[in-house]
Structure 1
Amino acid sequence: MKIASINVNGIRGAVERGFLDWLAQQDADVVCVQDTQVKSFELGDHILYPEGYEGYFLDAEEDGFSGVALYCRKIPKAIMYGLGFPECDQEGRFLQADYDRFSIATFLMPDGRDQRAKQHFMEQYQEYLSKMSRKRREYIICGTWHVAHKTLDLANWSDNQLTPGFRPEERAWMDNVLGPTGFIDTFREINRRADEYTWWPKLDQDLPRTRQEGWRLDYQMVGPNFRRHVVDAWIDYDATFSEYAPLIVEYDLDL
């Protein structure tokens, strides 16, 4: 099973820059999309239902803001829209596909421009993650968490310790998610190298990504029992339809 996760930073613009061509080449079972920034009823069928996929969208109430989507080759048994608290559901930040043995979710954390709002969101999301970790069902949560966890997850970390996405309280929250709460960062199960990033500032887009001062803000998180199913994980640096790069993980499971 191959799962890809990508923050498109506006799906219509990403389509103009080649997102659908990239999607057609992936042979992914599920593609988790974040930050669609559109009302899905405004999209054509070629975006809602690309060849070989069923598309599911959760839009934000505000126009041109947030939103997540799932592209699934196999139709899920059920789709769960949101998590039950307004900051998540009204802003279109969580969408989950349920299959027989596990669930796959696409997730978009607030970026931290309003740090108080982000902190409040993390507190409520932590409650949900704690409940999820106690269930017998397994979960794969894919998306932009807007936190670089460790110093190797961003360039110039010493200059960014008070920058949203690397603030001490955000990293402590992520410590808890990956510690007592019990989730696993699948990418770091495979790749421990520094200089592996999923986001670069727009102003630097013309520079080669491997030389830019990037951040790793995107994750595929799983429970501890799923650790053994992670086969490979990589970042697709050649996909340039967004300032984010896709994160792709292979699991030795079938949907």
Structure 2
Amino acid sequence: MPHTQTIYSWNVNGVRAVAARGQLAWLHERGADVLALQETKTHPDKLSAALHRPDGYHSEWCAGDVAHYCGVATFSRQQPLAVTRGLGHPLFDTEGRVLVTTFPQFTLYNIYFPSGSSGPERVAHKLAFYAHFLDVIRPRLAAGERIVVLGDVNTAYAPIDLARWRENAKTSGFLPEERAALGEFFAAGLVDSFRHHRPDTAAYSWWSQRSGARERNIGWRLDYIFVSENLRDAIVDAAIHPDIVGSDHCPVSVTLRLPDEPS
């Protein structure tokens, strides 16, 4: 029989600070089957047992070579069948940005994609990261694997995805080359679950911490959950959760109706 799974993704901008304020409690309250975190900014050895492995969940962490920078973690009710860290390229795997967990129903890529905000060299690195990710994912999609890719992509794709797109036409995160590179995700066969389910909804997942941007809802949609084409019809719901605070980002989610047989 089919069953549903709800998957959340959240750039927490420091997991210990968020946890200390009790802002991970909704993990249980909302019945998350999977919670993927980005920008954890810690090594799992530095965490309490309760945070390292929340009650009722299996946990996997990927930390970078530099302390207090980047990092991702995935909490899941199911124990993964396999876990991989990184994309298999030394240029992209030192910062702790990629955690891949394989479950019977799908393989989940939890990724904190690079930002290009510090200048042209970093934009080039970001675009190279995108391209290498696509090199990794395309053959898996072509083979018919069921795949979920989520995380902070650091690009708003279309004008509907940020409040002030005209003013930001030359700002990293909305540069033409970044948007074109994100468009290659769709060409490869990844479906933007939020835009598929809510094609005309303007909603944001990140706000500048200056000038009361969040209170005025002057934001960007930088956080995505993509699914492979063979999961498009499994999308039951996709949402953004601005009521969950504690970071400059808020969580995003997708609910999938999945078959019981393995992928």
Common fold, TM-score beyond 0.5? Answer: yes
SS of residue paired to 1:123: helix
Match of 1:136 among 144, 155, 162: 144
Partner Cα distance (1:4, 1:230) in 2: 14
Give the superposition deviation at 1:218.
0.7
**2:197 paired residue number:** 190
Contact 1:48/1:54, CA 8 A, preserved across alignment: no
Letter in 1 for 2:108: I
Partner Cα distance (2:217, 2:106) in 1: 36
Contact 1:205/1:243, CA 8 A, preserved across alignment: no
Q: CA 1:254/1:62 → structure 2, altered by over 3 Å: closer, same or farther?
A: farther
Letter in 2 for 1:99: F
Of 191-200 and 60-69, the range deviating more from structure 2: 191-200
Contact 1:232/1:250, CA 8 A, preserved across alignment: yes
Letter in 1 for 2:194: F
Give the superposition deviation at 1:63.
1.0
> What does 1:113-124 align with in structure 2 at a 5 Å threshold?
113=118, 114-124=122-132
Say yes or no: does 1:88 pair with 2:92.
yes
Root-mean-square deviation over aligned CA pairs? 1.5
Partner Cα distance (1:87, 1:202) in 2: 30
Give the superposition deviation at 1:121.
1.6
Say yes or no: does 1:42 pair with 2:46.
yes
Partner Cα distance (2:62, 2:23) in 1: 19
So what's the TM-score if we normalise by structure 2? Answer: 0.91
Could you list the per-position Cα deviations for residues 76-123 of structure 1 after superposition, in whole angstroms to 9, with x for gaps in the alignment?
111111110123321111111111231112111001122222122222
Give the superposition deviation at 1:204.
4.3
SS of residue paired to 2:210: helix
SS of residue paired to 1:95: strand
Q: CA 1:51/1:151 → structure 2, altered by over 3 Å: closer, same or farther?
A: same
Say yes or no: does 1:72 pair with 2:76.
yes
Give the superposition deviation at 1:19.
2.6
**1:109 paired residue number:** 113
**1:30 paired residue number:** 34
Q: CA 1:206/1:160 → structure 2, altered by over 3 Å: closer, same or farther?
A: closer
Contact 2:37/2:72, CA 8 A, preserved across alignment: yes
Partner Cα distance (2:196, 2:27) in 1: 25
Partner Cα distance (2:185, 2:214) in 1: 33
Unpaired stretches in structure 1, ≥5 consecutive residues: none
Q: CA 1:190/1:219 → structure 2, altered by over 3 Å: closer, same or farther?
A: same
Partner Cα distance (2:57, 2:83) in 1: 15
Give the superposition deviation at 1:132.
2.6
Contact 1:187/1:234, CA 8 A, preserved across alignment: yes
Letter in 2 for 1:105: Y
Give the superposition deviation at 1:192.
2.0
Give the superposition deviation at 1:207.
4.7
Letter in 1 for 2:160: L
Unpaired stretches in structure 2, ≥5 consecutive residues: none
Give the superposition deviation at 1:232.
0.5
Letter in 2 for 1:20: L
Say yes or no: does 1:166 pair with 2:162.
no
Say yes or no: does 1:250 pair with 2:255.
yes
Match of 1:236 among 230, 238, 241: 241
Contact 1:20/1:50, CA 8 A, preserved across alignment: no
- Hey, which of these two has a bigger chunk of helix by percent? 1
Number of positions where the alignment pairs a residue of Structure 1 with one of Structure 2: 252
Partner Cα distance (1:236, 1:156) in 2: 20
Identity %: 33
Q: CA 1:187/1:35 → structure 2, altered by over 3 Å: closer, same or farther?
A: same
Contact 2:154/2:223, CA 8 A, preserved across alignment: yes
Q: CA 1:65/1:168 → structure 2, altered by over 3 Å: closer, same or farther?
A: same
